[in-house]
Amino acid sequence: MAVISLRRARTMIRKAFEHARGEELKPMAAVVLDAGGNPIAFEREDGASPGRFDIARAKAYGAVMLGMPGSAQMARAEAQAYFIACANGALGGGLVPVPGGVLVKDSKGVVLGAVGVSGDASDNDAAAAKAGIEAAGLAAEV
Amino acid sequence: MAVISLRRARTMIRKAFEHARGEELKPMAAVVLDAGGNPIAFEREDGASPGRFDIARAKAYGAVMLGMPGSAQMARAEAQAYFIACANGALGGGLVPVPGGVLVKDSKGVVLGAVGVSGDASDNDAAAAKAGIEAAGLAAEV
Amino acid sequence: MAVISLRRARTMIRKAFEHARGEELKPMAAVVLDAGGNPIAFEREDGASPGRFDIARAKAYGAVMLGMPGSAQMARAEAQAYFIACANGALGGGLVPVPGGVLVKDSKGVVLGAVGVSGDASDNDAAAAKAGIEAAGLAAEV
Amino acid sequence: MAVISLRRARTMIRKAFEHARGEELKPMAAVVLDAGGNPIAFEREDGASPGRFDIARAKAYGAVMLGMPGSAQMARAEAQAYFIACANGALGGGLVPVPGGVLVKDSKGVVLGAVGVSGDASDNDAAAAKAGIEAAGLAAEV
C-alpha cells in the first residue's frame, strides 16, 4: 500500500483552501489522516474557530476507520441513529458523521487515508476536500 | 461452565470468512469473545477498514453482556432508544446494537460467548457469524 | 509501504505460540497490529487470563505509535517515569511499556506494525514475538 | 492580543524541520497551538511514527495551558511528581512534560501559543522548535 507523503498532504490542504477561497467560503480547517487514522498534516485558516481541528479530524477519522465517507455515515445516521451513536462510542468518540470526511484512494481503489474539512456548510467542506485530493493526483470518495 | 477453546474459535472465524467469500461479501472482520466479554480470537481480512475490530467487538460485547444478540438489541433500540443509549453508557461505550453480534450457546442453552462480525450489511454479517458458530458444532442465537 | 497480510499475521501468531510451547512458557496471547495501531489478528491460548488481550495490544500499540519497542519504552520509563505516564495519557491510556511489544519491519527498516505478546515473563513474551515475526520473513526490533 | 497567523505557523514548522534536517535528526512532527491550546498547523515528516501528533500536541498543550515550557514542566515533575500527575488529570490527560513544548511570545512577553516538536531526543526537539519560532520573528521560551 502506498502512503500519503507529507508533500502530497500539503498539496491537498493548499488546494482545498484555494477551492474555498475561489468559492468565497468561510475560513476553513483541513486535516489529512493516514490509513490508520493518524494525522499527517493540518492547517486552520485565520478566522476559523478553534474547534475546527477536532471537527475536521473526526470527519476524516470516521471515514478511515469505517471505510465510509461522511455522506454515507450521514445516511446511516439518518436511517439508524443508534448505530452511528454506538459506533462513535466504540471508536472512542471520534466521529462526526457528515459530509466533509472524504476518503483518499489510489487508482486501484485502496484507501490511503482521508481528508477532513470543516468551516462552511458540510457539502461545501466536502467539495473543498475533493478538490484538494484530486489536485494531488488521487481519487476522492465523498 | 464449558468454555470456547481457541481451536473452536479459530474454526468459527475461518468458517465465517468462508461463508462471506461464498456469498461474495465485502472484506470482513470477526471476533470471538468468551462468556466474560473478553477476546479469544480475532481476524481482519485484507482490505477491511481498520475500525472493524472495534465495531465487531462491540457487536459481540453487547450480546454477551446483555445476553441479547444484535437483532434483539436493535429491536430494543428502535422501541426504547434511551435504554440502549444508557446501557451503552453503563457498559463503557462498548455496544453496537445491530445484527452481527451473535450469541454462542451450548446444547443446553448456556451462553459460552459471542461472535461479532463487521464488514458488509448487518444481516450479512450476522449470517456469516451464524455459519461460523454452527460449523464449530455450537448453537447460534442471531 | 507494504502491509502485513492476514496470512502473515496468522503465521506470526502460530509461530510465536510454537516457540512458547517449545520453551514450556505459560499460556500466551498474541496480537498483530498494522502500522496505524489497529488489530489484524489476535489469539489467546486456552488457560491464558482474560485480560491478556488488553495487555498484548497495549504492548504493541505503544511500539507502533512511538516507534519504540517495549524494551526501549521500559528503559525510558525507568529513567523518566513521568514521560511514559504522560505519553500514556496522550495516547489514550493505551501503553504497557515492557518487553513483549516488538516492532515489525521490512528489509529497509520501515515499520509495518507490531506484535504484542503477553502471558509469561516479559522477556519470554518478547522472544516469542520475535520468533513469530522472523518465521514470517520479517525483521523484529525487540 | 495578537494571534499567530497561519502564515507564521507554517514558517515555524518549515524552519523547525530545516533545523532538524541540518542537524540530521530523526523524522519529526511539529504542531503550532494558539493561545487557547488549539491547533493552527501540524506536519509529520515521512517516516515519523504515527503517535508523534499526540506527543507533539501534548508537549505544546501543557506549555500553553500552564504557561510553562517543557523544561520547566520537567523540572517540576522531577521535584514534585504528584503535581504534574494531577495537573495532567485536571487537563484531561493532555500533558507530556519534557523539552519540546516551547512557548511562543511577542516582544512584550505575551504568550501567543506554543510549538510542540517530537521525533528525536527531547532537547533536540526543543532546539528545532526554538529555531522555527525565531525564524518567524517571535520569541521562544524553551
At C4-36, the pLDDT tens digits run 999 999 999 999 999 999 999 999 999 999 999
pLDDT at D1 over 80: no
Share of chain D above pLDDT 70, in %: 99
Q: Are B and C close enough to touch, i.e. 3+ CB pairs under 8 angstroms?
A: yes
Over the stretch A94-116, which tens digit does the pLDDT of each residue have?
A: 999 999 999 999 999 999 999 99
| Per-residue cell: D17 | 524541520
Interchain proximity B43–C45, CB inside 8 Å: no
DSSP state of C16: H
Over the stretch D80-133, which tens digit does the pLDDT of each residue have?
A: 999 999 999 999 999 999 999 999 999 999 999 999 999 999 999 999 999 999
Q: Are B and D close enough to touch, i.e. 3+ CB pairs under 8 angstroms?
A: no
Interchain proximity D53–A38, CB inside 8 Å: yes
Measure CB to CB from residue A92 to each of C2, C65, C92 and give the nearest one.
Answer: C92
B70-79 vs B81-90: helix axis angle to the nearest 10?
120
B interface residues, C as partner, C-beta within 8 Å: 3, 5-6, 9-10, 31, 34, 36, 38-46, 50-51, 53
For residue D9, give the amino acid letter. Answer: A
In the structure, what pLDDT confidence band is assigned to residue C111 with cuts at 50, 70 and 90? very high
Give the Cα separation of C95 and D142 in Å (integer).
28
Give the Cα separation of A116 and B75 in Å (integer).
33
CA atoms within 13 A on the CB side of B29: 26
Give domain C6-137's CATH architecture: 2-Layer Sandwich (3.30)
**Of C31, C27, C23, C17, nearest to C48 (Cα)?**
C27
Among A3, A40, A112, the residue to mutate for chain D (most D Cβ within 10 A): A40
Sign of CA dihedral A40, A37, C101, C21: negative
Over the stretch B104-118, which tens digit does the pLDDT of each residue have?
A: 999 999 999 999 999
**Of B74, D120, D44, B9, nearest to A36 (Cα)?**
D44
Interchain proximity A65–B77, CB inside 8 Å: no
Residues of D in contact with C35 (CB under 8 A): 50
* Residue of chain C whose Cα is closest to the Cα of A5: C1
Min CA distance, C83 vs chain B (Å)? 27
Q: What is the mean pLDDT of residues B17-43?
A: 98
Give the Cα separation of D4 and D105 in Å (integer).
10
Residues of B in contact with C10 (CB under 8 A): 43
Burial environment of residue C137 by CB neighbours within 10 A (0 to 12, 13 to 18, 19 or more): exposed
Q: Where are the domains of chain B?
A: 6-141
Interchain proximity C37–A36, CB inside 8 Å: yes
Determine if residue D28 is left, alpha or beta; phi over 0 gives left, psi from -120 to 50 gives alpha, anything else beta: beta
| D6-136 classified as CATH 3.30.499.10 | no
Interchain proximity A35–C37, CB inside 8 Å: no
Min CA distance, D39 vs chain A (Å)? 6
Measure CB to CB from residue D43 to each of A6, A44, A53 and give the nearest one.
Answer: A6
Distances (CA, A) of C20 to A22, B38, C139: 62, 22, 19
Interchain proximity A38–C34, CB inside 8 Å: no
Determine if residue C24 is left, alpha or beta; phi over 0 gives left, psi from -120 to 50 gives alpha, anything else beta: left
Torsion on CA atoms A65, A66, A71, A76, rounded to nearest 10: -140
One of 3.40.50.300, 3.30.450.150, 3.40.50.12500, 3.90.550.40 is the CATH number of A6-141, namely: 3.30.450.150
Task: Specify the residue for cell string 448487518.
Answer: B122
Bridge partners of B33?
A: B39, B114
Which helix H or strand E contains C58, and what residues bound it? helix C52-66
Q: What is the mean pLDDT of residues B60-89?
A: 96
Give the Cα separation of B58 and B101 in Å (integer).
8
pLDDT at C2 over 80: no
Task: Specify the residue for cell string 500499540.
Answer: C61
Residues of A in contact with D58 (CB under 8 A): none
Contact C42, C20 (CB under 8 A): no
Q: How high does pLDDT run on average in chain D? A: 97
Over the stretch D21-43, which tens digit does the pLDDT of each residue have?
A: 999 999 999 999 999 999 999 99
For residue A77, give the amino acid letter. Answer: A
- pLDDT in the model for residue B2: 80
Q: How high does pLDDT run on average in chain C? A: 97
Which helix H or strand E contains C124, and what residues bound it? helix C122-135
Interchain proximity C64–D50, CB inside 8 Å: yes
Min CA distance, B34 vs chain C (Å)? 8
**Of A1, A72, A13, A2, nearest to A39 (Cα)?**
A13
B interface residues, A as partner, C-beta within 8 Å: 47-51, 54-55, 57-58, 74, 77, 81, 84-85, 88, 93-98
- pLDDT in the model for residue B1: 59
DSSP string, chain D: -----HHHHHHHHHHHHHHHHHTTPPP-EEEEEETTS-EEEEEE-TTS-TTHHHHHHHHHHHHHHHT--HHHHHHHHHH-HHHHHHHHHHTTT----STTEEEEE-TT--EEEEEEEESS-HHHHHHHHHHHHHHTT-EEE-
Measure CB to CB from residue C50 to each of B10, B31, B36 and give the nearest one.
Answer: B36
Q: Are A and C close enough to touch, i.e. 3+ CB pairs under 8 angstroms?
A: yes
Contact C97, C77 (CB under 8 A): yes
* Residue of chain A whose Cα is closest to the Cα of C110: A3
DSSP state of A25: P
Distances (CA, A) of D96 to B93, C118, D43, D99: 27, 27, 18, 9
Q: What is the mean pLDDT of residues D51-74?
A: 97
Contact C45, C16 (CB under 8 A): no
Give the Cα separation of C109 and D28 in Å (integer).
17
Give the Cα separation of A43 and D41 in Å (integer).
4
Q: What is the mean pLDDT of residues B80-100?
A: 94
Give the Cα separation of D118 and D51 in Å (integer).
9
Residues of D in contact with C85 (CB under 8 A): 85, 88
pLDDT at C1 over 70: no
A interface residues, D as partner, C-beta within 8 Å: 3, 5-6, 9-10, 31, 34, 36, 38-46, 50-51, 53
Over the stretch A40-93, which tens digit does the pLDDT of each residue have?
A: 999 999 999 999 999 999 999 999 999 999 999 999 999 999 999 999 999 999
C interface residues, D as partner, C-beta within 8 Å: 35-37, 64-68, 80-83, 85-87, 89-91, 93, 110-111
pLDDT at B72 over 80: yes
| Per-residue cell: A7 | 508533500
Sign of CA dihedral B117, B120, B123, B128: negative
C interface residues, B as partner, C-beta within 8 Å: 3, 5-6, 9-10, 31, 34, 36, 38-46, 50-51, 53
Contact D123, D12 (CB under 8 A): no
Distances (CA, A) of D5 to A26, A29, D91: 16, 13, 26
Measure CB to CB from residue C6 to each of B31, B39, B44 and give the nearest one.
Answer: B44
Interchain proximity C46–B6, CB inside 8 Å: yes
Measure CB to CB from residue D38 to each of A45, A46, A50 and give the nearest one.
Answer: A50
